[in-house]
Structure 1
Amino acid sequence: MRASRTSGRERGQAAIEYVGMLGLLLFVAMAVVQLGLAVYAAQQAGTASRAAARAVSLDQGSAQQAGRAAMSDWLEASFEEARTGDGVQVTARVEVPSVVPGLSFGPIRKSTTMPMDR
């Protein structure tokens, strides 16, 4: 009779351990997704800043229009344009979406400088 009581207690302990590990594994998986979103946002910011600087240097439109057209629609972005002598510098600022509450990378900024076409 004593053996059955012990096995019942062990079964309950295993369930508690399982729930604890499941929570930890879920947090790790969400953190990996968050890191992937941050890397993707950085790549999109670089692409958008290059496209925007190219469009402004060739006088083919605004930095905002060219930058938004070059990146994913679901990311929030803003663009700053600065003339530098014979060139133009465009900085793209992309917000990283948050999947894990409390874990935020903040905005990512990428800049590109191109000479003006004459």
Structure 2
Amino acid sequence: MAAVQLGLIGYGVNQAGSGARAAARVASQGGDPDAAARSAVSGWLDPSVSLGGGPGSDVTTATVRVTVPNVIPLFDRYAITRRATMPTDD
């Protein structure tokens, strides 16, 4: 069970990073970062996106948070946050 839990956490880290990169890239070009993150992350992880920078700034930063479910009943769900920064297109 512990190996499965660690595998899910590793998968969550990978997915959060992918979502953050997609959201930052799309937001830096003036698109919808929430839609980009949701399309890059497995739906069952329910990603949430927050942005920094953006119009008028040299960089756009996206932070994506996903929550990995627990498979071991004694532990709580595990939240993972990843951040990516892209140069803002003018």
Give the TM-score normalised by structure 2: 0.90
Higher relative contact order (CA 8 A, sep 6+): 2
Listed as ranges, the gaps of 5+ residues in structure 2 are none
Identity of aligned residues (%): 43
Q: Which amino acid aligns with 1:37?
A: L
Whether contact under 8 Å (2:9, 2:78) holds in the other structure is: no
Listed as ranges, the gaps of 5+ residues in structure 1 are 1-29
Asked if residue 108 in structure 1 is aligned to residue 80 in structure 2, the reply is: yes
Alpha carbon RMSD of aligned pairs, Å?
1.3
Compare the two structures and name the one with the higher helix fraction: 1
Larger Rg computed on CA atoms:
1
Partners in 1 of 2:74 and 2:49 — Cα distance? 26
2:41 to 71, 96, 101: 71
Whether contact under 8 Å (1:52, 1:66) holds in the other structure is: yes
Show the counterpart of 1:21.
Answer: none
1:105 offset after TM fit, Å? 6.0
The ranges of structure 1 where at least 4 consecutive aligned residues each deviate by more than 6 angstroms after the TM superposition are none
2:7 to 33, 36, 43: 36
Asked if residue 55 in structure 1 is aligned to residue 42 in structure 2, the reply is: no
Q: Which amino acid aligns with 2:35?
A: Q
Whether contact under 8 Å (2:70, 2:78) holds in the other structure is: no
Partners in 2 of 1:106 and 1:34 — Cα distance? 10
Partners in 2 of 1:105 and 1:34 — Cα distance? 10
Show the counterpart of 1:90.
Answer: 62
Partners in 1 of 2:34 and 2:12 — Cα distance? 17
1:65 offset after TM fit, Å? 0.6
Q: Which amino acid aligns with 2:83?
A: S
